[in-house]
């Protein structure tokens, strides 16, 4: 069976890929301004951000929206 390509822009993207891309694109300081959450503003790292975002659906949604619309 052939599957049609997904229209979901997040299809195949891991949260780590998304956060890494955003950090490369904006840097931690700008990312903290765009999405004011402590994991981006206070001693930020990919691992601490992933840990927080996996437990916090509203914050993850904001990150995914920035990735899609950014």
Tokens of 3: 């599957």
pLDDT tens readout for residues 22-49: 999 999 999 999 999 999 999 999 999 9
Residues 6+ apart with CB under 8 A from 47: none
Does domain 15-69 fall under CATH 1.10.720.30? My reply is yes
Contact 55, 6 (CB under 8 A): no
In this prediction, residue 70 has a pLDDT band, given cuts at 50, 70 and 90, of confident
């Amino acid at each position: 069976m052939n599957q049609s390509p997904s229209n979901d822009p997040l299809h195949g993207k891991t949260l780590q890929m998304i956060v890494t891309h955003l950090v490369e694109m904006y840097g931690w300081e700008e990312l903290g301004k765009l999405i004011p959450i402590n994991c981006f503003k206070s001693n930020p790292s990919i691992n601490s951000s992933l840990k927080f975002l996996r437990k916090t659906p509203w914050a993850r949604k904001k990150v995914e929206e920035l990735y899609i619309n950014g």
